[in-house]
Amino acid sequence: MGHSIHSTDDMDNGSMPSSRRHANGEPNVQKVAVPPKQNLLKDIKSTTKEFFFSDEPLRPFKNQTIARKFLIGLQTLFPILEWGREYTLSKFKNDFVAGVTIASLSIPQDIGYSKLANLEPHYGLYTSFVPPLVYACMGTSRDIAIGAVSVISLLLGTQCSAEADPIKNPIEYHNLVFTATFFAGLVQFLFGFFRLGFLVDFLSHAALVGFMGGAAIVISAQQLALILGIRGFTKKNDIVAVMQSVFGSVHHGWNWQSAAIGTPFLAFLFLATYLGTKNRKFFWLSAIAPSFCVVTSTVIVYLTRVDRDDVQIVNYIRKGINPVTFQDIYFSGKYLAAGMRIGAVVGMIALSEAIAIGRTFAGMKNYKLDSNKEMLAMGSMNMVGSMTSCYVSTGSFSRSAVNNMSGCKTPVSNIVMSGVVLLTLLVITPLFKYTPKAILGAVVISAVLTLLDYKEMIRIYKVDKFDFVACMGAFLGVVFTTIEMGLLIAIVISVLKILLQVTRPRTALLGKIPRTTIYRSVEEYPDAYKVPGVLIVRVDSAIYFPNSNYVKERILRWLVDEEEHLTAKGLPQIKHLIVDMSSVTDIDTTGINELELLFRTLQNQDIQLILANPGAAVMDKLHSSEIEYVIGPSNIYLTVTEAVKSCNPKTTIDEA
């Protein structure tokens, strides 16, 4: 069905021209089509499919035998069964080098990060042993390196220590960590299974940049206690309390031997990172620098025995592989609710970080990252990890970057890294006895400061000021309050931005670009001129209940402003108001009611409302609600050009 309306052969860019004409040269009657009415069940099915299955995950199963479908199902859940068939010795050489390289970076970082989670050093190593093996079988990213990361370690440690004291009640604390890890994995897995990955995107990129940057500042400040050998350091995370604790210990708490060990190695780590960033030829230097510092400082402490002068050392790292901890997870009792809450929060942040890293490298190497499979992989590895003495693991940006630069080809690099960590747990851990904690602090600082991406913050400021507010809100919230408050601020500002864009959509006043039949915003194109007696307004959003009243009022304000301007200049008043609906993707019943109110208001002022270029979804609802007959079928046009022509038949392409 459709309505007959008058048309010309003029058209907007991308609009359908009138293709047929009468013999006398008059334009033929053109129709604005109303889409066929869909069956309700088909409509629901189509919407659900587009919402949850837009990537058509079942397409590979079509027209396949039962045996083939079973194999495809296994390959879907375990991608290693698909790419593993094409694995070669050449690829393994690259993956082996990459795996050993990231292991040399991972081991000292893991020992340092476990301290952020208020856990013993071996838990950091456990977390880089089991989860990478699971991810290698189920993940789709070739470059992401799995293990303990700084922000997640701090977030988990902060939230769990608020529920159970890690010093007074270490068993309860450890069990709560495993419980939170299990539920973090469960949330991630369910997100992937029910294809709810879009919820992760509610934490915007700008908010995530600010959150990570703030966490980097807080973590780095906390590590000063290790570098300076301060005992009895504050448990608070805000920068003011941390710096008060640092400078409040100047005269009685600083250990100059510890500072003398930590400071030079920290400077060396910064230099190695700088060289590795500036020149890819030196990436190996930034990769092995942490291990070099740990080994060298350990030898120095062993030879000089400065640990007798109160230099803090690691002292003991448990030898052996991960013990089973399934029985330690709280599935009932007073810590169950806390474990579920902490797990959900930490799991979401870990998922956001991992997917952001995976998408970055997938884009660089031009391969597809399946977000839902990533969620299943992340969830599985954390659930398995919680049962094997691991805490929440995710992708590390610094290690993933090294993995990429080392030439990794597949997730096998994670398996190699896991093998090196296993060797460390079985053989090397006793050698860490004399490792000074100052070095661990230096390693953590050099790693986390890469999360402070000031260049990206500057770019966000240049591109979108509201995004910059979200970024700074998250950053300042983490730095001056707590990690949790910074995260809450990041989420609130991100949601506020969505609400602002939904409830206050953009509108634009359109004018005609000289010597064309194109109508564009007069602000964007200053030379575009307004058609006498006609006001053209474009709405750049769907029109529904949160914004429909605002859209109507904004259009009327445009009208009032324009009439005041015309009155001041003694020009003819507006007789036609054209609403360009080319950007209106949908309209609901509230929007239709407001559209009718707009029509009545304009009618009382002797102004004709005209609609131009409504889309299929909009046209269907205009037709179903019969509002088209209120406005008048002859007042709905395919293009703005045709609508203007109906108001002013003498309007033609400018000759000037």
- Looking at the structure, tell me whether residues 321 and 346 fall in a common domain: yes
Assess if residue 30 is contained within a domain: no
Instruction: Tell me the pLDDT band of 456, cut-offs 50, 70 and 90.
Output: very high
Mean pLDDT of 328-340: 95
In this predicted structure, the answer to whether residue 4 has a pLDDT above a threshold of 60 is no
In this predicted structure, the answer to whether residue 653 has a pLDDT above a threshold of 80 is no
Mean pLDDT of the chain: 88
- Looking at the structure, tell me whether residues 492 and 612 fall in a common domain: no
Phi/psi of residue 579, nearest 5 degrees: -105, 115
Beta bridge partners of 577: 535, 609
The alpha-carbon radius of gyration of the chain (Å, integer) is 32
Q: By the 8 A CB rule, do 255 and 491 touch?
A: no
What is the model's pLDDT at position 398?
84
- Looking at the structure, tell me whether residues 591 and 471 fall in a common domain: no
- Looking at the structure, tell me whether residues 243 and 206 fall in a common domain: yes
What is the model's pLDDT at position 426?
94
- Looking at the structure, tell me whether residues 439 and 558 fall in a common domain: no
- Looking at the structure, tell me whether residues 226 and 325 fall in a common domain: yes
- Looking at the structure, tell me whether residues 550 and 644 fall in a common domain: yes
Assess if residue 379 is contained within a domain: yes
Domain that holds residue 253: 81-499
CATH code, domain with 529: 3.30.750.24
> Helices 465-480 and 205-227, interaxial angle, to 10°?
30
Residues 77-89: tens digit of each pLDDT: 999 999 999 999 9
Task: For residue 273, give the 3-state DSSP assignment.
Answer: helix
Assess if residue 233 is contained within a domain: yes
Mean pLDDT of 33-47: 74
In this predicted structure, the answer to whether residue 612 has a pLDDT above a threshold of 90 is yes
Q: What is the pTM of this model?
A: 0.80
- Looking at the structure, tell me whether residues 402 and 366 fall in a common domain: yes
Closest to 525 measured CA to CA, from 510, 503, 536: 510
Assess if residue 627 is contained within a domain: yes
Mean pLDDT of 112-117: 93
Instruction: Tell me the pLDDT band of 16, cut-offs 50, 70 and 90.
Output: very low
Could you tell me whether strands 507-512 and 519-521 are parallel, antiparallel, or unpaired per DSSP bridges? antiparallel
Assess if residue 31 is contained within a domain: no
> Helices 170-193 and 150-161, interaxial angle, to 10°?
120
What is the model's pLDDT at position 53?
72
Q: Which of residues 450, 483, 499 is at a domain's end?
A: 499
- Looking at the structure, tell me whether residues 147 and 234 fall in a common domain: yes
Assess if residue 18 is contained within a domain: no
- Looking at the structure, tell me whether residues 477 and 557 fall in a common domain: no
What is the model's pLDDT at position 18?
37
- Looking at the structure, tell me whether residues 532 and 602 fall in a common domain: yes
Q: In this predicted structure, which of 298-307, 424-433, 502-511, 647-656 has the lowest mean pLDDT? A: 647-656
Assess if residue 521 is contained within a domain: yes
- Looking at the structure, tell me whether residues 356 and 451 fall in a common domain: yes
Assess if residue 531 is contained within a domain: yes
Q: Which of residues 478, 499, 520 is at a domain's end?
A: 499
In this predicted structure, the answer to whether residue 31 has a pLDDT above a threshold of 70 is no
CA 184 – CA 254 distance, rounded (Å): 39
Q: Which of residues 437, 471, 499 is at a domain's end?
A: 499
Q: Tell me, what amino acid is at 154?
A: L
Beta bridge partners of 509: 537
How many domains does the structure of the chain reveal?
2
